C-alpha cells in the first residue's frame, strides 16, 4: 500500500512536472540555440526595466531611399499608440533603429551594438535581406528573438534560425506565384529576371524555375550589383533573349534606371516585380515607366474594404494625422503589432517567455498581413501572396492572397 | 568570373557599344574637371561628384517643385555647383597646409558632409529626372540611336577636344600651364594664380553639374547616384595619369566602353571585378616609364 502510494506519488510528480514544462511554466533554459518552446520566468534578461522595454532593429536608413525610414515611422506610430494607452505590462516601449547601410558587415556590427551596448530586449522588425542574413547567426548564438524582420529568404523561416519569426514570404514563394499567374493568363514567350546578386536573386530564380517547370519557357537570369552605373548592357541582354516578360527584384533606384535603359533601346516587355514596388513613393516617381507592372502583394491595400484593414487605417491616421503611405508604413505597423502581441501574451518579460508566446500565435490578424501562425517548430508565420497591378498613380488588386 | 551569358547579334553588340561610349563620354566630361583641378592646384577633390549632385538637385527642385522654366532651372542648378566649387577652394583648399595627402582628408570630409546635407535638404527619395532627349530615337540597322546617348557622347567629345584647345590654343591656357608648372614664375609674369585656381575649381563645378544632370536623366536622382560613377572616373584618371591629358581622357571613354562590354558579355555582376582586373593588368603590363614619367607630360 505504502509502496503503491509512493509509486503513485512519483508518477504523479512526473506527470505534474511534465505538464508544467509543456505549459511553459517550467524552468528550462532560454539561452543557447535550438527550439525555444518553453517559458523561463526567472531567465536573466536585459532591456526591460520597471518602466521601459527597449527593442531594436537595423535598416538601410541612408542607402535605400525613404522606404526604410517609413517602415520605422510605421512601427513608431504603433508603439506611440500603445505607449499612450499605458504601454505593455505597465512599461513604455522604446524602439532603437540603427542604420546598416544595406551592408552585411555594417549590419552585423550595428546588431552587436544593439545587443551589447544598447542592451535591447529583442529585435523588432528590420528591413533588408542580405543585411539581416549577416545578423542571423549572431542572434542565434545570443538567443535573441527577432520578430518579423522583413528579410524574405529561404534561409529564414525554419528551425535553422529558431529565434527568428518571419512574417514575410520568401522570394521563392513570391516569384513562384507571380510566374504562375503570368503563365496561366498571358501565354508568355519567354522570361527575363534581373535580381540583386546573391540570395535575393537566387531565390527569385528558383521560384520562377519551379513555376515554369516543364512548360519549356526560357528564362534568362541576370544578377545585378546594386548601383550599376550603366544599365544598357542588362537591357540589351534581356532584349536579345527575346523575353516578353521581365521580372525585377532590384532597389527602387536601379529599377527606375533599368526601365529608363529599356526605354532608350526601344524594349518594352511586360513587367512584374517584388512587393516593394507597390509603395507609393516608387509609383509617384516611376509610375509612368511601370504602367501595367504586376507586383507581388504581401500586405493588404489600405483602401481594402476588410474591417481589419479599415481599423488599421483609422488607427494609423488618428495617430499620425495622415493616411499610411503604402507598403512601408504598413510593414512597420504590422511588425510592431506582432511584437506587442508577443510582449502582452508572454507570461513574463523574459526572452524565452516572449518566444513561448510567439509559438502560441495562431491566425493572428493584423489587418495588414494574412493571418499569422507560428508553432513549436514553425517559424514561417505567413505563406500567402496576393497580386496587384500598377495603374495610373495607384495599384489595383488583381488576385487575392493565395498560398503555394 | 561567371560564365559567359550571351553575346547577341551584331546589332545588340553595337547597341552596347553605343551605350558604353555614351557613358564614357560623360566620364570624360567629369574627368576633365578632375584633371584641370589636379594640374593647376595639385588637389584631388573627392567631393567632386557630390557638387554635381547638388547642382542636379537644385535644378530638379526649381523645375519640378517650383515649376520654373526648365532651361532656367537647369542653368541655376549649374550655377549653384559652380559657386559651391569655388567656395570649396576659397574656404577649404586654400587653408590646407602644404602637406601631402591633407587635401584628400579634407575633400573626403566635404564629400561626407555634402552627402549628408543633400539627404537632409532634399530628402532621401529616388527621383526621376528630366528625359533630356532620351525618349527620342531612330533605328539604324537594328540599333536604337537614342538622342540621349548622342547627347552624352557629344558632350564627351566636346570636353575632349574643347579642353585640349583651351589649354593649348588660348591665352587662358598659357596662364593655366604656367600656374601649373611654377606658380612663383607665373606670379612674376602678372598672373593672379590664386584667382585662376578658384576659377578652375568653379569650371570643374560646371562640368560636374552638366554631367551629373545627364547621368541623372539616364539613372535616377538621389544623394548617392554619382558615387559608383565617380569611382570609375577616378579609375580612368589613375589609368591614364592625372598629369597627362589625352591618355586619361581617352581612358574615360575606354573605361565606359570596357565596363559595358564586360557587363554585357560576362554579366552585370562581373563588370566591377572586370574593371579592377583591368587596373591590375595595366599596372603589371604598362611600361614602368609610362607610370613614372607622368609628371613630364602636361596638357
Q: How far is B289 from chain A (nearest CA, A)?
A: 32
Q: How far is B125 from chain A (nearest CA, A)?
A: 5
End-to-end Cα, chain A, rounded Å = 60
For the segment A94-113, the average pLDDT, to the nearest whole number, is 96
For the segment B233-250, the average pLDDT, to the nearest whole number, is 93
In-domain check, residue B98: yes
Tell me the per-residue pLDDT of A143-160, one tens digit each, with 9 for 90 and over: 999 999 999 988 999 999
Domain that holds residue B74: 10-296
What pLDDT is attached to residue B297? 44
In-domain check, residue B116: yes
Contact flag B269-A239 (C-beta cutoff 8 Å): no
Decide: B44 and B170 in contact? Cβ < 8 Å.
Answer: no
Q: How confident is the model at residue B124 (pLDDT cuts 50, 70, 90)?
A: confident
For the segment A370-386, the average pLDDT, to the nearest whole number, is 93
For the segment A358-387, the average pLDDT, to the nearest whole number, is 93
Domain of residue B218, CATH code:
1.10.3470
Distance CA A280, CA A268 (A): 23
Distance CA A195, CA A108 (A): 23
Predicted complex ipTM: 0.86
For the segment A207-235, the average pLDDT, to the nearest whole number, is 93
Distance CA A164, CA A172 (A): 18
Distance CA A225, CA A245 (A): 21
In-domain check, residue B4: no
The total number of structural domains in chain B stands at: 1
In-domain check, residue B3: no
Which residue spans within A148-244 are E strands per DSSP?
A: 164-165, 191-196, 219-224
Tell me the per-residue pLDDT of A295-341, one tens digit each, with 9 for 90 and over: 999 888 888 888 989 999 999 999 999 998 778 899 999 999 999 99
Contact flag B260-A233 (C-beta cutoff 8 Å): yes
Query: Which 3 state secondary structure label does DSSP give B221?
Result: strand
Contact flag A286-B5 (C-beta cutoff 8 Å): no
Torsion of CA A35, A36, A37, A42, to 10 degrees: 160
In-domain check, residue B209: yes
What pLDDT is attached to residue B101? 74
In-domain check, residue B95: yes
For the segment A253-272, the average pLDDT, to the nearest whole number, is 95
Residues from chain B that touch A266, judged by Cβ atoms under 8 A, are 137, 139, 144
Chain A contact for B134 (CB, 8 A cutoff): yes
End-to-end Cα, chain B, rounded Å = 38
What pLDDT is attached to residue A25? 36
Helix B171-181, helix B193-218: angle, nearest 10 = 110
Sketch out chain A's domains with CATH numbers.
Answer: 52-169+303-373 (3.40.50.2300), 171-297+388-403 (3.40.50.2300)
CA angle A338, A344, A348 (to 5 degrees): 125
In-domain check, residue B5: no
Distance CA A177, CA A210 (A): 10
> How many contacts does A have with B, using Cβ atoms within 8 A?
137
Closest Cα in chain B to A62: B124
Query: What are the grid coordinates assigned to B110, written together?
Result: 566635404
Amino acid at each position: 500500500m505504502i509502496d503503491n502510494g509512493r509509486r503513485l506519488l512519483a508518477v504523479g510528480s512526473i506527470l505534474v512536472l511534465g505538464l508544467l514544462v509543456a505549459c511553459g511554466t517550467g524552468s528550462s533554459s532560454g539561452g543557447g540555440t535550438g527550439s525555444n518552446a518553453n517559458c523561463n520566468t526567472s531567465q536573466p534578461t536585459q532591456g526591460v526595466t520597471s518602466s521601459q522595454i527597449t527593442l531594436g532593429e537595423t535598416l538601410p536608413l541612408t542607402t535605400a531611399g525613404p522606404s526604410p525610414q517609413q517602415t520605422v515611422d510605421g512601427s513608431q506610430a504603433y508603439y506611440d499608440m500603445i505607449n499612450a494607452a499605458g504601454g505593455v505590462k505597465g512599461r513604455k516601449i522604446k524602439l532603437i533603429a540603427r542604420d546598416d547601410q544595406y551592408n552585411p558587415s555594417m549590419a552585423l556590427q550595428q546588431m552587436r551594438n544593439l545587443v551589447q551596448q544598447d542592451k535591447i530586449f529583442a529585435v523588432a522588425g528590420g528591413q533588408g535581406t542580405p543585411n539581416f542574413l549577416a545578423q542571423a547567426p549572431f542572434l542565434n548564438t545570443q538567443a535573441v528573438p527577432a520578430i518579423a524582420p522583413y528579410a524574405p529568404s529561404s534561409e529564414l523561416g525554419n528551425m535553422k534560425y529558431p529565434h527568428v519569426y518571419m512574417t514575410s514570404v520568401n522570394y521563392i514563394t513570391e516569384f513562384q506565384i507571380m510566374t504562375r499567374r503570368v503563365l496561366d493568363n498571358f501565354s508568355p514567350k519567354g522570361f527575363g529576371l534581373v535580381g540583386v546578386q546573391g540570395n535575393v536573386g537566387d531565390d527569385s530564380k528558383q521560384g520562377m524555375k519551379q513555376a515554369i517547370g516543364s512548360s519549356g519557357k526560357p528564362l534568362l537570369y541576370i544578377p545585378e550589383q546594386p548601383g550599376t552605373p550603366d544599365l544598357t548592357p542588362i537591357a540589351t541582354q534581356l532584349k536579345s533573349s527575346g523575353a516578353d516578360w521581365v521580372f525585377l527584384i532590384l532597389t527602387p533606384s536601379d529599377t527606375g534606371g533599368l526601365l529608363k535603359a529599356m526605354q532608350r533601346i526601344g524594349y518594352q516587355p511586360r513587367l512584374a516585380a517584388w512587393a516593394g514596388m507597390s509603395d507609393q513613393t516608387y509609383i509617384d516617381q516611376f509610375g509612368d515607366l511601370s504602367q501595367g507592372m504586376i507586383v507581388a502583394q504581401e500586405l493588404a491595400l489600405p483602401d481594402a474594404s476588410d474591417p481589419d484593414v479599415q481599423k488599421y487605417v483609422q488607427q494609423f491616421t488618428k495617430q499620425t494625422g495622415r493616411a499610411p503611405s503604402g507598403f512601408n508604413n504598413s510593414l512597420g505597423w504590422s511588425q510592431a503589432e506582432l511584437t506587442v502581441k508577443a510582449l502582452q501574451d508572454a507570461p513574463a518579460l523574459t526572452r524565452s517567455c516572449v518566444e513561448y508566446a510567439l509559438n502560441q500565435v495562431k491566425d493572428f490578424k493584423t489587418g495588414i498581413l494574412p493571418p499569422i501562425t507560428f508553432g513549436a517548430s514553425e517559424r514561417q508565420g505567413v505563406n500567402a501572396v496576393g497580386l496587384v497591378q500598377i495603374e495610373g498613380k495607384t495599384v489595383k488588386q488583381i488576385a487575392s492572397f493565395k498560398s503555394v | 568570373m561567371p560564365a559567359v551569358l550571351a553575346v547577341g547579334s551584331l546589332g545588340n553588340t553595337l547597341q552596347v557599344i553605343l551605350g558604353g561610349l555614351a557613358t564614357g563620354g560623360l566620364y570624360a566630361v567629369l574627368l576633365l574637371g578632375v584633371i584641370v583641378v589636379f594640374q593647376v592646384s595639385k588637389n584631388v577633390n573627392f567631393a567632386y561628384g557630390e557638387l554635381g549632385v547638388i547642382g542636379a538637385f537644385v535644378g530638379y527642385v526649381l523645375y519640378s517643385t517650383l515649376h520654373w522654366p526648365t532651361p532656367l532651372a537647369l542653368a541655376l542648378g549649374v550655377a549653384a555647383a559652380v559657386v559651391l566649387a569655388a567656395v570649396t577652394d576659397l574656404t577649404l583648399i586654400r587653408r590646407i597646409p602644404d602637406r601631402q595627402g591633407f587635401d584628400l582628408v579634407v575633400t573626403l570630409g566635404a564629400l561626407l558632409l555634402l552627402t549628408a546635407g543633400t539627404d537632409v535638404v532634399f530628402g532621401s527619395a529616388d527621383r526621376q529626372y528630366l528625359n533630356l532627349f532620351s525618349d527620342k530615337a531612330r533605328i539604324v540597322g537594328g540599333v536604337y540611336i537614342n538622342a540621349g546617348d548622342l547627347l552624352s557622347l557629344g558632350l564627351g567629345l566636346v570636353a575632349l577636344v574643347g579642353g585640349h584647345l583651351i589649354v593649348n590654343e588660348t591665352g587662358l591656357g598659357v596662364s593655366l600651364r604656367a600656374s601649373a608648372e611654377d606658380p612663383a614664375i607665373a606670379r612674376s609674369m602678372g598672373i593672379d594664380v590664386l584667382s585662376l585656381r578658384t576659377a578652375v575649381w568653379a569650371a570643374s563645378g560646371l562640368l560636374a553639374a552638366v554631367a551629373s544632370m545627364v547621368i541623372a536623366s539616364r539613372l535616377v536622382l538621389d544623394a548617392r547616384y554619382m558615387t559608383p560613377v565617380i569611382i570609375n572616373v577616378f579609375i580612368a584618371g589613375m589609368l591614364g595619369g592625372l598629369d597627362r591629358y589625352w591618355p586619361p581622357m581617352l581612358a574615360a571613354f575606354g573605361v565606359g566602353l570596357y565596363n559595358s562590354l564586360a557587363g554585357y558579355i560576362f554579366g552585370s555582376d562581373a563588370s566591377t571585378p572586370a574593371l579592377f582586373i583591368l587596373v591590375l593588368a595595366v599596372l603589371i603590363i604598362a611600361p614602368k616609364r609610362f607610370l613614372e614619367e607622368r609628371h613630364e607630360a602636361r596638357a
